A = this chain, B = another copy of it.
């Protein structure tokens, strides 16, 4: 940090720091499990009426003792997610924590190209979140609407700021994460079937997978899933065997990995 002392940011126009969240979940649409992203429709300028990622400024906060207590970045991301989903009133920390406890959060990247916000210099730290099926969001107090939107139906050409690019980066990261980590389990309930897990992969990768081979690969990766001993209460609605129930294992990485098919000729 060569100039940490020589440079005083207070003498310049400040750089604003925001946190944006790409929250992904799987919802069933017409019997098809489909990848959705949480978006808000902006109620203010700029980009009024456009879809945007939920997010907002990182700000100093007053702690219980009234002293300044800055937010950590992941903390700010969870707060934005909680506020926009309406999962809890922002004052009710306990409820927020309970409902969002199972949400997986990781940093995606930071976007700071000058001009990405027409008003001022803004640096956005983007986070990627994987969530099990959450309720429909309740519109925040800022007169926007919020909704889970199927990613295939997102009109990227009309998104606010550079959020279309952030979304694309997030989708690629998510697809890649499923290859090397057991994070697909973050999209399903605590107990799940191998078929449900496969539907997560199919929704995120956007392609059908060979069910028998998928089954075997999941079971052969140590620590991916643990057998609960139980099965589903019923078979499929139109018949079919009951499925065994699993819970997430303890592995952080998959060995061997579950690679996307048809990635041969990578440019």
Selected contact of A5 from candidates B13, B15, B45, B123, CB within 8 Å: B45
**CB proximity of A198 to chain B, nearest CB, Å:** 22
In the complex, what residues of B have CB within 8 A of residue A80's CB? 2
User: Interface extent on A, as a size class?
Assistant: 35 or more
Assess whether B18 is in contact with A56, with CB atoms less than 8 Å apart.
Answer: no
A69 to B71, CA, bound (A): 30
In the complex, what residues of B have CB within 8 A of residue A42's CB? 1
Cβ proximity bits A8-41 to B, threshold 8 Å, 1 near / 0 not: 0110111111101000000000000000000010
Tell me if A104 is interfacial: C-beta within 8 Å of chain B.
no
**CB proximity of A167 to chain B, nearest CB, Å:** 14
Assess whether A56 is in contact with B1, with CB atoms less than 8 Å apart.
Answer: yes
**CB proximity of A75 to chain B, nearest CB, Å:** 9
Show the binding face of A for B, using Cβ within 8 Å. Answer: 1-7, 9-10, 12-18, 20, 40, 42, 44-45, 52-60, 68-73, 80, 83-84, 107, 109-110, 112-114, 117, 119-121, 123, 125, 140, 142, 144, 160-161, 222, 250-253, 255, 263-267
Among A44, A140, A266, residue most surrounded by chain B Cβ atoms (within 10 Å): A266
Closest to A2 in B: B56
In the A-B complex, list the 10 residue pairs whose CB atoms are closest, starting with the nearest: A14-B14, A70-B114, A253-B266, A3-B56, A9-B16, A5-B44, A73-B112, A110-B110, A2-B56, A7-B57
